Amino acid sequence: MSAKAISTATADRRQAQLEALIAAAEKRICDSGMHSLKARDLAADIGVALGGLYNIVQDIDALLLLVSSRTLARLGEAAQTATAHLPVSTRAEAIDRLVMVAQTYLTFARENLPLWRMIFELRLDSPLPDWAAQDQLRLFRHIAEPLHAIMPELDTVALTVRARTLFAAVHGIISIGLEERLIAVPAQKLSDEIAWLVRSACRAHA
Amino acid sequence: MSAKAISTATADRRQAQLEALIAAAEKRICDSGMHSLKARDLAADIGVALGGLYNIVQDIDALLLLVSSRTLARLGEAAQTATAHLPVSTRAEAIDRLVMVAQTYLTFARENLPLWRMIFELRLDSPLPDWAAQDQLRLFRHIAEPLHAIMPELDTVALTVRARTLFAAVHGIISIGLEERLIAVPAQKLSDEIAWLVRSACRAHA
DNA sequence: CGTGAATTTGAACGACGTTCAACAAATAAA
DNA sequence: TTTATTTGTTGAACGTCGTTCAAATTCACG
């Protein structure tokens, strides 16, 4: 009754518009970075009047959040295909897998630099929606699982914290390593340093 | 000749205006974050017309860079007073000192959260001026010095890279730990995790 | 004082995200 | 088919922003 009935045809068109909008935003972000994304450009890209954007998304922040979410999903897939087949039965194997997860993260960041940066540069006025927070938390499994094999004495909460710590440490190395503000670190060096850190953290007991 | 002669009185007043401007910017950033800094507010704060700001600084980015630089200087002082008196003669002492540097960094970030964030959120159109890059590189000594005692087999360049890695790892943990986007990590837990990581990295040989 | 240079002013500009009254298209009713 | 109603789209207009610059003001000095 009070809820407006929407024809499926309309809903489908809206979905198509939304996907075109996300695609246009991703393209523009890849080309010139998140900060030069303009509402007027996007409207032109998808052939809609300026005001029409706000029939598709609530505002530009909501669009950026969708792009972020999509990037996180792709990152998750990359981690999955790169490491899911690796064994974790022995401690050494688990460590190798963790190193692989980190390397995959580095590669992904390198190959999707502007989109990857966006995830962390995004500053929302309103708090993260639950579905977006879940998107992020799901990814930690790729770390927590091997880590459990490496540090079996940690309880669930300590393991979660430790997984976050390890992720954050690797993320920091990559984040600062890929900035061009100071001297650029050679690709191989960066990869080596990440492997060193992960192995150090794992070797040095819990 | 071509250089315009500036009376010392004028130069002094300019300097005073600049310091007032930086102070006003710092206050506003502390209160409401870097992104809500407005030229009109700052002009009002220091009792100058809107256009007058551009007699004091080139543009808002230049002001933010000055604030950043000042924050880095305060961070350097904090590291200095917290760790300079600590011994580094034995390996264990050097490690303790490195842990203390990291804890100092955490404390500083906590107590200066908006200013500290600014340093890394700042995205300049033009490349970093040399003096600003030097500001940052100077701080790495606080890490490289103890690290040299811990990993004496590393040559100068490897030591520089390793110091960067260690800084970036700790920075990542703090950066993500202090974000409120996901669940906030308790203060003590964060401190413990940082100490764990630094000790792990140091213990696990070079 | 008077006069030329240095300094400050604030209205104006262009770009931005967002809104909303007017318009058009689609659908339902007659 | 014609008319009425609901639904979807439009783009001019608004408020805010950083920045500019011609004009007004203040200052230095004979």
Q: Distance between CA atoms of B199 and A99, rounded to whole angstroms?
A: 19
Q: Is A137 on the interface with B (CB under 8 A)?
A: yes
Residue B198: CB atoms within 10 A of its CB come to 23
Which pLDDT value is given to residue B192?
98
According to the CATH classification, is domain B60-204 in 1.10.357.10? yes
What is the C-alpha end-to-end distance of chain B, expressed in Å? Answer: 59
Q: Is B155 on the interface with A (CB under 8 A)?
A: no
Which B-chain residues 22-81 have CB contacts (< 8 A) with chain A?
Answer: 35
Which pLDDT value is given to residue A102?
98
Q: Distance between CA atoms of A10 and A150, rounded to whole angstroms?
A: 52
- Tell me which chain B residues have a C-beta less than 8 angstroms from the C-beta of A176: 164, 167-168, 171-172
Distance A7 CA to C28 C1' (A): 14
Tens digit of pLDDT at every position of chain A (206 positions): 333 445 676 778 889 999 999 999 999 999 999 999 999 999 999 999 999 999 999 999 999 999 999 999 999 999 999 999 999 999 999 999 999 999 999 999 999 999 999 999 999 999 999 999 999 999 999 999 999 999 999 999 999 999 999 999 999 999 999 997 777 789 999 999 999 999 999 997 64
Which pLDDT value is given to residue B13?
84
The chain-wide mean pLDDT, for chain A, equals 93
Distance B109 CA to D5 C1' (A): 60
Instruction: Give percent of chain A above pLDDT 70.
Output: 95
- pTM value is 0.94
Nearest to A190 by CA among A172, A168, A202: A172
Q: Distance between CA atoms of B53 and B41, rounded to whole angstroms?
A: 11
Domains of chain A, by residue range, sit at 1-57, 60-204
List pLDDT tens digits, range A71-120.
Answer: 999 999 999 999 999 999 999 999 999 999 999 999 999 999 999 999 99
Tens digit of pLDDT at every position of chain B (206 positions): 333 445 666 777 889 999 999 999 999 999 999 999 999 999 999 999 999 999 999 999 999 999 999 999 999 999 999 999 999 999 999 999 999 999 999 999 999 999 999 999 999 999 999 999 999 999 999 999 999 999 999 999 999 999 999 999 999 999 999 997 777 789 999 999 999 999 999 987 65
